[in-house]
């Protein structure tokens, strides 16, 4: 039962990821030299082939899709602040990556619909609106 549900979710996520990569151009994450947190975060993003738009705000602070996050190194491992605790970067990307991709997909669809109504051309790149999620 659990493996069936996992397979369904993995299939949906893979289809969504391929669709997003066709619609928008995702640049590979380029991390800042000399910043260990950024280097570890960049490696995790590449390891998971994450298609979510990521912006570095400051050392250890990022915008992951529409979500502002704080990253730290604790006991030699990169962790992300979630609620009242921390989550490993790999768990975070696996859990929140698909959610942020869905938000991006909805935003792209809404923009395409708006552009088709007004006759404007589709945007090459998108800017995801900031949410209040942290």
What are the tens digits of pLDDT across the range 27-81?
A: 667 778 889 999 999 899 888 888 888 899 999 999 998 999 999 999 999 999 9
Q: Give the predicted TM-score (pTM) of the model.
A: 0.65
pLDDT at res. 21 = 55
CA distances from 64 to 30, 45, 113 (A): 14, 11, 25
What are the tens digits of pLDDT across the range 74-124?
A: 999 999 999 999 999 999 999 999 888 888 888 877 877 777 777 655 444
**Domain 2-118, CATH:** 3.30.920.20
Q: How far apart are CA 121 and CA 118, in angstroms?
A: 9
Residues 6 or more apart in contact with residue 118 via CB below 8 angstroms = none
Q: How far apart are CA 13 and CA 19, in angstroms?
A: 10
For 58, phi and psi rounded to 5 degrees?
-165, 180
Q: What radius of gyration, in Å, describes the C-alpha atoms of the chain?
A: 16
Query: Domains of the chain: which residue ranges?
Result: 2-118
């Amino acid at each position: 039962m659990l493996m069936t549900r996992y397979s369904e979710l993995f299939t949906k996520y893979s289809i969504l990821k391929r669709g997003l990569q066709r619609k928008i151009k995702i640049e590979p994450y380029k991390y800042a030299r000399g910043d260990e947190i950024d280097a570890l975060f960049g490696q995790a993003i590449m390891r998971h082939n994450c298609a979510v738009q990521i912006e570095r705000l400051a050392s250890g602070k990022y915008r992951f899709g529409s979500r502002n996050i704080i990253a730290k190194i604790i006991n030699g491992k990169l962790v992300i602040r979630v609620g009242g605790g921390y989550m490993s970067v790999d768990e975070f990307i696996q859990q929140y990556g698909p959610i942020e991709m869905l938000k991006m997909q909805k935003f792209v669809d809404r923009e395409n619909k708006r552009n088709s109504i007004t006759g404007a051309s589709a945007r090459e790149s998108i800017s995801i609106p900031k949410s209040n999620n942290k």
